[in-house]
Chain A
Amino acid sequence: MILSWLVLIPILGLVPLLAVSRSERAVKIVAVAVTLVELAASLVVLASFQVGEAGFQLRESAEWLPSLGIRYELGVDGISVLFLPLTTLLTAISVLYSTKTIKTRVTEFMVAFLLLEVGMVGIFMALDLFLFYVFFELMLVPMYLIIGIWGGQRRIYATMKFVLFTLAGSLLMLVAIVAVYLASGDEGHRTLSLPALIAGRGRFSADFQFWVFLAFGLAFAIKLPMFPFHTWLPDAHVEAPTAGSIILAGILLKAGGYGFLRFALPLFPYGTQAWLPAIILLSVIGILYGAIVSTVQKDLKKLVAYSSVAHMGFVTLGIFVLNLQGAMGAVLQMLNHGIVTGALFLFVGIQYEKTHRRTIADLGGLANRWPLYTTFFMVFTLASLGLPGLNGFVGEFLVLLGTFAFNPPTGLGGFFWGPLAGIGVILAAVYLLWMFQRVMFGPLREAYQKLPDLTPLEVACALPLLVLTVALGVFPQPVIAIIEPSLARILALATDPGVTAAFR
């Protein structure tokens, strides 16, 4: 039942929240409390997880739409179990930080955030494709409102673009899901349950997999986002309120990468093999393009947003080189990017709250006044550029290792793609350090002389992220141990010798 509680807690939390909706202060307290309870519940899930087992654990299963063989089926494995605490932690931090920054329509904001949390924890637990889709879409409307109501100047344009891009992809995925359902068995024996589908994936012909993978892939590529489907991201990130940016970068983008690993790879090995060259090409383009475009950004928030495009390129690259190092790197990169970029957006937000400027040229010298801020921001910037000893390094390093080991029978191998991706890492150091120098060092502007350093609330928001950044950088082994068995199983499914032989 513990997994169902993760879905239920935010929903049940709406009751006390709406009951006290007359007092803004009470609403904020209830919202923070609900997200903390949810965080605790996700830690219980993590604690009761048996490390070393590859399959799904803590499973729950109940009839939902029996006439269609659709089930309410939840479960976690080594990959998904880590995303749950990440989600709940980032949500708690976002809500906590928003208690200070959101000043209009507080109740609506908190309701939207709790509903968003339902969708987010849901996608990482759903083992039924239909249920996954429902959670996937459930994230859409709250985020649409969060950007559209509490966002910046061009929020309406940004939120519409975000919704339409995501919907276009996910509706095609819906068609594919129904097609998978119809192909899953004879009438009366059809299912959308992931374990059953994997067991019966022999029914999916190579041709079928080619198209269905394309539909799933488009949805995930847009969500991730992968070059050239990324154009919604800078707008959405820049216009979203700080809490929205944190969640968008920290969790929503991961839904794409997670979807590839959870559904596309094990279900459609032929499709994976067929589309792999294209995805690797787009990933490397994304890494380089994201890095180059980040370098020339004038807006601080936009710079961090474009850096996400580059970082997500590493995720798809790592997944689709189809070896354990690469995929492990990809999963770690997703987790670490969630922590680090979430933190970077938090600090850009804090800085903006104080100075009301986001243009890099208008900033400068902030290090003189804000020692605490500078320390935190420095650590996260260095983690983002992949400094060894901090968590960002682990993922990117493993992805690069995996890429060099990538050795397809035809086409360009790891020794072509590896160095190109490596350039991306160097460029990350260039744009991030240059940004840090322009924002933090140099002469301090008159207008910023009186601005205070981090408040205790802001420290409380940032501290857990800082601890994780350092801890996962120094000692990633426990996390790797959790992920490895499940990931190895997925890769074994995706690289079935029979399947790869067909492509020789």
Chain B
Amino acid sequence: MTDVQGVLPEIIVTLTAMLVLLGESILDRDEGGTWLPVLTATGLVAALVAGPFTMAPTPLFGGFLTVDTFTTFFRDLFIVLALVATAVSPSYLRRRGLPIGEYYALILFSTVGAMTIALASDLITLFLGLELMTIPIYVLAGMQRRDRASNEAALKYFLLGAFSSALLLYGFVWLYGVTGTTDFGGITAALRSAGPASGTTIVALALVTVGLGFKAAVVPFHQWTPDAYDGAPTPATAFMSVAPKAAAFAAILQVFGALAPLQADWTTALALLAVVTMTGGNVVAVAQRNVKRMLAYSSVAHTGYVLAAVAAFRAGDSAVAGVLFYLAAYGLMNLGAFACLLFLDTEGTRGATLTELSGLAKRHPLAGLLLAVFLVSLAGIPPTIGFVAKVFVLQPVLEAGLTWLAVAIALNAALAAFYYLRVVVHVYMYDAEEGAPRLVPSWLLQASLALTAVAVVALGIVPNALYAWALEAAAPLVR
């Protein structure tokens, strides 16, 4: 009984996904458009409510799953992100004639996958979770079947994703070969008693780094990101830019946490990858005119900041808490920024260009304000959550003695401010041009984004509770 009770939220979300699929075949298109999002949201809220009743002191299912504070933090984060994504999507799906039931079912299945990653206490469950999370995302990316960009995005994402999964799995196999176990605790113990890294452990470490690097879009394994983000329907992009990234980092934390005895070998490597990632993402983002692509590259840059906190793992609690807090902050603000593009009715899957955003603040003051809040937060300017998140990342990085990495983060943040504020320039300081896309402000979109924006500012002023929670969630990982 306790085994099943421990995964109650996952069960609820899975059942909801199935019900949504059933509902799609029963309801006609209009009814489905109204009720399926409601059903999805209800299921997600139920899973959120069930969460606190699942804490288990001992591993479940024969040691394959663990429910601890780390799990619940990520679980709730994924559910909240899925909720926001659910709320901003309906009008877009209806306008574009996309299959509503499938869309929500895919988001739910992907969420279950992400939640499984947070549950995993074993390489096998972790891998299962990763696959379950990414496969629905491949489909989401290719959902607009008649759109060539969407097809290209899905294929590219799928091929590179499959390739990286294979690499990761191969890495796991090597790890198993070295340690003789797939259990995280067992791996840590085996590595600790084995002493300094040998050639085989280094191979395992390298393969795992590359495999997870693909999933999290670490430069130079980020090539799929801009095309996949650009080609996917915009509300799907909003979701896939945050939840899979947070899930990838949940996996990174789990795996590298298990590999903690090898810290001496991976700290510098991750720190270097972090610098390359944030710089690469930011430099390319500067050159983008299409805001969707710009945000795609900027999400690569944010991967770099989070990776910097992972590299500071030796600082202890504060490093893991920094990662968790940043992921939550990034989730809210990036989802918000992408979803703001839904105010505009642009053609195809293409997001708005800078010129199409010109004068948005005059045409629709709320949309302009919301976009500005999310962008200012992404730029890391107070009083927003993006700013405190940067502070919580800088602290462990400096504590771990990686001063050069902290300076790199600061300089990158200044560079990033340039392209974020350039969007604000267009929104607030230019007048709308002829042929600017029609505005489609649904009330649900406005309300959910306004709520998210309030959270972004409020958590920027009083981040206490969230940070305390992140610290608590970090504890199980720092053994």
Contacts and interface: CB of A to CB of B under 8 A. Distances in A.
Contact of A156 (B410, B414, B425, B463): B425
A167 B429 contact: no
A65 to B, nearest CB: 6
Interface string A99-141: 0000000000000000000000000000000100110011011
Interface string A41-85: 000000000000000000000001111100000000000000000
Contacts of B417: 163-164, 167
Interface string A388-408: 000000000000000000000
A148 B382 contact: no
A171 B415 CA distance: 11
Contacts of B418: 160, 164
27 contacts: A65-B464, A67-B464, A67-B471, A130-B391, A134-B383, A137-B381, A138-B383, A144-B421, A145-B428, A149-B428, A156-B429, A159-B429, A160-B418, A160-B422, A160-B425, A164-B418, A168-B414, A171-B410, A172-B407, A172-B410, A172-B411, A175-B394, A178-B391, A179-B398, A179-B403, A179-B406, A182-B395
B370 interface: no
A406 to B, nearest CB: 33
B390 interface: yes
Given A155-B429, A171-B414, A65 B467 contact: yes
B387 interface: yes
Contacts of A138: 382-383
A174 interface: yes
Given A67-B468, A138-B382, A168-B411, A174 B428 contact: no
Contacts of B410: 171-172, 174-175
B429 A65 contact: no
A181 interface: yes
Closest 10 CB pairs of A and B: A171-B410, A168-B414, A134-B382, A178-B394, A148-B429, A137-B382, A167-B414, A175-B406, A175-B410, A167-B417
Nearest to B361: A108
Contacts of A149: 428-429
Nearest to B422: A160
A148 B403 CA distance: 35
A466 B279 CA distance: 51
Contacts of A140: 381
A141 B377 CA distance: 11
Given A65-B463, A138-B383, A149-B429, A163 B421 contact: yes
Contacts of A148: 425, 428-429
Contacts of B421: 144, 160, 163
B73 to A, nearest CB: 15
Nearest to B412: A171
B414 to A, nearest CB: 4
Contacts of B403: 175, 179
Contacts of A174: 390-391, 394, 410
Contacts of A156: 425, 429
Given A175-B407, A175-B410, A179-B403, A141 B468 contact: no
Interface of A: 64-68, 130, 133-134, 137-138, 140-141, 144-145, 148-149, 155-156, 159-160, 163-164, 167-168, 171-172, 174-175, 178-179, 181-182
Contacts of A67: 464, 467-468, 471
Given A137-B387, A178-B398, A182-B395, 10 more contacts: A64-B462, A65-B467, A134-B383, A137-B381, A159-B429, A163-B421, A164-B417, A171-B414, A175-B394, A175-B410
Contacts of A164: 414, 417-418
B327 interface: no
A138 B463 CA distance: 17
**Most chain B Cβ neighbours within 10 Å, of A67, A155, A156, A175:** A175
Interface string B19-34: 0000000000000000
Contact of B376 (A65, A130, A141): A141
B381 A182 contact: no
B381 A181 contact: no
Interface in B365-408: 376, 380-383, 387, 390-391, 394-395, 398-399, 403, 406-407
Contacts of B409: 175
Contacts of B380: 171
A156 B429 CA distance: 8
A160 B381 CA distance: 15
Interface residues of B, number: 34
A282 to B, nearest CB: 22
Contact of A182 (B399, B411, B463): B399
B398 A141 contact: no
Contacts of B406: 175, 178-179
Given A65-B463, A67-B471, A163-B421, A175 B398 contact: yes
A175 B405 CA distance: 10
A155 B403 CA distance: 36
B320 interface: no
Nearest to B315: A182
B259 interface: no
A140 B425 CA distance: 14
B250 interface: no
Contacts of B253: none
A32 to B, nearest CB: 23
Contacts of B399: 182
A174 B424 CA distance: 24
A342 B364 CA distance: 35
A130 B387 CA distance: 11
B411 A171 contact: yes
A171 B464 contact: no
B413 interface: yes
A458 to B, nearest CB: 28
A219 to B, nearest CB: 11
Contacts of B383: 134, 138
B120 to A, nearest CB: 28
A168 to B, nearest CB: 4
Contacts of B390: 174
B379 to A, nearest CB: 8
B381 A141 contact: yes
Nearest to B467: A67
A68 B462 CA distance: 12
A175 B412 CA distance: 12
A159 B418 CA distance: 11
Contacts of A163: 417, 421
Nearest to A211: B403
B168 to A, nearest CB: 34
A104 B413 CA distance: 32
Contacts of A179: 398, 403, 406
Contacts of A130: 391
A285 B31 CA distance: 74
Nearest to A70: B391
A34 B377 CA distance: 28
A178 B464 contact: no
A134 B391 CA distance: 11
Interface in B307-323: none
A156 B424 CA distance: 11
B87 to A, nearest CB: 25
Contacts of A159: 425, 429
B395 to A, nearest CB: 5
**Most chain B Cβ neighbours within 10 Å, of A67, A130, A156, A159:** A67
B398 A167 contact: no
Contacts of B429: 148-149, 155-156, 159
Interface in B243-301: none
A241 to B, nearest CB: 13
Given A133-B382, A174-B394, A167 B413 contact: yes
Contacts of B462: 64
Interface in B196-233: none
Nearest to A140: B381
A174 B407 CA distance: 10
Contacts of B381: 137, 140-141, 167
Contacts of A133: 382
